[in-house]
Amino acid sequence: MDLARRHFLKLAAGAAALPTVPRKSWAVDYPTRPVRVVVGFPPGGFTDTTTRLISAWLSEKLGQQFVVENRPGATSNIATEFVARSAADGYTLLQIGDGNAYNATLYDNLNFDFVRDIAPVASMITAPFVLVVNPSFPAKTVPEFIAYAKANPGKINVGSLGPGSPSQLIGVLFKSMAGLDLVTVNYRGIGPALTDLMAGRIEVVFTSLASVIGYIKSDKLRALGVTTAKRAEIFPDVPALGEYVKGYEAAGWVGLAAPAKTPPEIITVLNTQVNAALADPALKARLADLALDPIVSSQADFARYIVDFTEKWRKVIRANNIKPE
């Protein structure tokens, strides 16, 4: 992640000291009935899994069920519009992530404004992406990959999950900053892309580290570098791409949000409890197994991060004339 990532890391250092605050200390009696947490993707995947883990914590600590409701479609725009139009009372929440920030520029005719109509509540995790190649690919390191790509312009095929997808955008930023001429091949899912990668029909894929942990451990794929500013704990020998391409940093992230104008007292309750959940050793261990890093932040810092992130990718999307399918 970029600018606010540094603020988050400072906050995370003190996360272990966060208390679980008893309900009687809150300035507002919330919640008094079940809370709906809307996820804009099908069940499964790190966004849904993270949201379910946090929702289970909130259910236990706040005494009401936080029920996850999947409303997939239109790369989460359907779910986001639904929550943006819901009552701002804290009983309809939204899982948000990097895709929402990309969509703000990718789509011209949305019936909502992500930054204006959605109130950030709490960051939850950042998810490294990784550059993976077939084990037979001649380059075994990032410098070797860059050198090989420059010696073979237009001959390396990069699997993408479609125009405007995180995998495409993260790859576009890398090839732009590294000065590479790579060919994008679009797929309708990570499964077909990885099948072709392992069969040698394409050479490279940028994908979430969580989706290829097993392939890397079994040597079916070779990880050259992760997209985050620091190395992933699960694969400490895999460098960050930014170690070789100065300033490169990109990753997925997941957070919790609510409709705009949700009372700040309710947002404070939720932010404090999400931060407490992320400091819990058992939950942190489960996230680590998925190659996900908990990110603790105040509501204000998270809001600033979203604005900065949205602007960063607005520039990338427009500079590369990227349009969704």
Mean pLDDT value across residues 165-175? 96
Q: How confident is residue 3, by pLDDT bands cut at 50, 70 and 90?
A: very low
Locate 316 and state its tokens: 């990338």
pLDDT tens digit string along 38-95? 999 999 889 999 999 999 999 999 999 999 999 999 999 999 999 999 999 999 999 9
Locate 170 and state its tokens: 């993260």
* C-beta separation of 238 from 142 below 8 A: no
* pLDDT score at 325: 75
pLDDT tens digit string along 249-262? 999 999 999 999 99
Mean pLDDT value across residues 160-180? 95
Any idea which residue has 């950042």 for tokens?
A: 126
pLDDT tens digit string along 199-213? 999 999 999 999 999
pLDDT greater than 50 at residue 282: yes
* pLDDT score at 53: 97
Q: How confident is residue 280, by pLDDT bands cut at 50, 70 and 90?
A: very high
* pLDDT score at 27: 65
Cα–Cα distances (Å) from 266 to 130, 167, 299, in that order, read: 37, 35, 11
Locate 125 and state its tokens: 């995790």
Q: Which CATH class is domain 3-126+252-319?
A: alpha beta
Confidence (pTM): 0.88
* pLDDT score at 259: 98
**CATH, domain 128-243, list 3.40.190.10, 3.10.180.10, 3.40.50.261, 3.10.105.10:** 3.40.190.10
pLDDT tens digit string along 287-306? 999 999 999 999 999 999 99
* pLDDT score at 20: 44
Q: Which of 2-6, 210-214, 268-272 has the lowest mean pLDDT?
A: 2-6
pLDDT greater than 90 at residue 24: no
* pLDDT score at 137: 96
Neighbours of 277 (CB within 10 A): 25
Q: Which residues are CB-contacts of 193 (< 8 A; sequence separation ≥ 6)?
A: 159, 160, 161, 167, 185, 187, 202, 205, 207
pLDDT tens digit string along 99-141? 999 999 999 999 999 999 999 999 999 999 999 999 999 999 9
- Count Cα atoms within 13 angstroms, Cβ side, for 205: 31
- Percent of the chain having pLDDT more than 70? 92
Average pLDDT of the chain, as a whole number? 91
In this structure, which amino acid lies at residue 258? Answer: A
Domain spans of the chain, in order of start: 3-126+252-319, 128-243
pLDDT greater than 80 at residue 21: no
* pLDDT score at 28: 82
